[in-house]
Amino acid sequence: MAQIQHRTIATNGINMHIAEAGAGPLVVLCHGFPESWYSWRHQLGALADAGYHVVAPDQRGYGQTDAPDDNHAYTQFHLVGDVVGLVAALGERQAVIVGHDWGAPVAWNAALWRPDVFRAVAALSVPFSHRAPIAPTAGMKAVFGDNFFYILYFQQPGVAEHELQHDVRRTLRRLMFGASGNAPERGLVDGIANPPPKTAYFLDQLADPTVLPSWLTEADLDYFTAEFQRRGFRGGLNWYRNIDRSWVLSAPFQGKKIEQPALFISGDRDLIRMNPGYEAQMREAVPNLRDVVLLPDIGHWTQQEAPDAVNRELIAFLRSL
């Protein structure tokens, strides 16, 4: 299998750490929260061996990449700009972009805003839909009222940091397990479907496993823990704190469709099951959506929980372009 190399690239005013492997057409893999390039550890070698130059950055605020002090410097426009600059810094004019969790909106928006750079897009876990008529947090407050919702809880700087950073390994263990296909009903999905009062804490809604699931080793947890102990959670949480700002700035793209070839992959135990109308909405907004793949018994950490299936689907999609 191709060897993974590491280096730092200057892009969009920040220094971005990347992991990369292989040679050929460029594929950029964008991670989610709370992860890093390491969430793509199973894809880098597999896609490189299939004939691609695969690059997985630590995105803005994560891992070994810069985390600007300005809390407003984490809009989708900053994040997409980082990847556009990365493609140019690598000496390329085009790339296929793949994103998971928060990396999925980055991938979708990159395809929407810069079709000249991103010739195709694949997203895991988070589907695309047209821009909503109201700001995201306003919609969430209307739905959840006086009940807890983690995205609203994450809005106030310092609050979630205090909870999540108290015991980083415990935080990551509970979150990785609680949002996975291995979680009991008392997982992240249940916490959203049956929300507790607004006074609740985030981690109390997630079970703490006595044994890690087979897809997450102690060494994997060690790596993630070390990264967040060093970097903290502020950078990643700032992505959530800019959702309304990103919504305001994206107004010029209202109603625009993604025309490039696209692929969507999710687990059938992921949050997607709470939105049964997602596929029709996505197909209307992404007319060249090639396939929607639901992986059985898989939760939110799609490419980590089902690496072989994800690799197979991604390679088939890339070869079809």
What residues form DSSP beta bridges with 122?
98, 263
Query: What is the CATH number that goes with domain 5-320?
Result: 3.40.50.1820
pLDDT above 70 (res 232)? yes
Q: How far is residue 159's CA from residue 100's CA, in Å, rounded to a whole number?
A: 25
How confident is the model over 74-109, as pLDDT tens digits? 999 999 999 999 999 999 999 999 999 999 999 999
What is the average per-residue pLDDT within 171-197?
84
Share of the chain above pLDDT 90, in %: 91
Q: How far is residue 222's CA from residue 237's CA, in Å, rounded to a whole number?
A: 21
pLDDT above 60 (res 186)? no
pLDDT above 60 (res 42)? yes
Q: How far is residue 203's CA from residue 150's CA, in Å, rounded to a whole number?
A: 10
Distance of CA 65 to CAs 11, 14, 171, Å? 11, 8, 21
Q: At what angle do helices 76-89 and 103-113 cross, to 10 degrees?
A: 70
Which amino acid type is present at position 315?
A: I
pLDDT above 70 (res 28)? yes
How confident is the model over 44-82, as pLDDT tens digits? 999 999 999 999 999 999 999 999 999 999 999 999 999
Judge whether 300 counts as a catalytic residue: yes
- Which of the pair, 1 or 178, is modelled with greater confidence? 178
How much is the pLDDT for 184? 79
Q: Are strands 26-30 and 118-124 parallel, antiparallel or unpaired?
A: unpaired
Among 17, 53, 100, 300, the one annotated catalytic:
300
Among 58, 82, 101, 270, the one annotated catalytic:
101
pLDDT above 70 (res 187)? no
Q: How far is residue 32's CA from residue 162's CA, in Å, rounded to a whole number?
A: 20
CB 299, CB 213: distance < 8 Å = no
- DSSP H or E stretch at residue 99: strand 95-100
Share of the chain above pLDDT 70, in %: 98
CB 313, CB 263: distance < 8 Å = yes
DSSP for 191-236? HHHS--BTT--SGGGS---SS--TTS-HHHHHHHHHHHHHH-SHHH
Q: How far is residue 90's CA from residue 120's CA, in Å, rounded to a whole number?
A: 18
CA 96 to chain centre: 16
How much is the pLDDT for 185? 64
How much is the pLDDT for 53? 98
Computed on alpha carbons and rounded to an integer, the radius of gyration of the chain in Å comes to 18
How much is the pLDDT for 2? 87
How much is the pLDDT for 273? 81
How confident is the model over 3-20, as pLDDT tens digits? 999 999 999 999 999 999
CA 118-278-213 angle, to 5 degrees, is 85
Phi first, then psi, for residue 294 (nearest 5°) are: -110, 120
CB 59, CB 86: distance < 8 Å = no
Q: How far is residue 108's CA from residue 97's CA, in Å, rounded to a whole number?
A: 8
How confident is the model over 127-166, as pLDDT tens digits? 999 999 999 999 999 999 999 999 999 999 999 999 999 9
What is the average per-residue pLDDT within 213-228?
98
Under the banding of pLDDT at 50, 70 and 90, the label for residue 272 is: confident
Cβ within 8 Å of residue 155, ≥6 positions away: 137, 240, 241
Q: Is 312 helix (H, G, I), strand (E, B) or coil?
A: helix
How much is the pLDDT for 294? 97
